[in-house]
Homo-oligomer: A and B are copies of this chain.
């Protein structure tokens, strides 16, 4: 799972909006408080507006606000809005890939990967993020110290970033 700067910025900006749901917040303010390049964030907010996650108001005192309550927007909504489906195999959805022998089982692996991602990303809302109250099964996944260390792997192309 690769989270781009764009998606990361979007989530932080939306969390900020969730934390100030009482008023519109400008791109400029979002950019400064989250240390995001202003014009880049503007483009991201435009995309989020087009997909219907935020509504915007021009002019003095304007800005952006969430289009629905923060407890009804999940992390998966944001990722899908900017990157498309959570899980894609060679450009296709897991249930559409067609494997011959001896690799048929790979499809089941991809389907379960998607199910696992959904169980996390569709259960965390923006309200959860700002309140710091993540669902129990997610805190459990992150509870093991093992979850916080990088696993070693061999490719010299990538070892710089362990």
- A residues apposed to B, CB below 8 Å: 1-5, 8, 11-12, 15-16, 18-19, 34-35, 50-52, 75-77, 80-95, 97, 99-106, 108-122, 124, 128-130, 132, 134, 138-139, 141-142, 144, 146-151, 153-158, 161-162
Instruction: Name the B residues within 8 Å of A81 (CB-CB).
Output: 153-155
Given contacts A2-B88, A111-B141, A116-B119, 11 further A-B contacts (CB under 8 A): A1-B87, A11-B106, A103-B129, A105-B128, A108-B139, A108-B142, A109-B121, A109-B129, A112-B139, A115-B147, A116-B120
Take A1-B86, A85-B150, A153-B85 as given contacts and tell me if A11 and B111 are in contact as well, using a CB distance cutoff of 8 Å: no
Chain A binding surface, main DSSP class: helix
Q: Smallest distance from the beta carbon of A155 to chain B beta carbons, Å?
A: 5
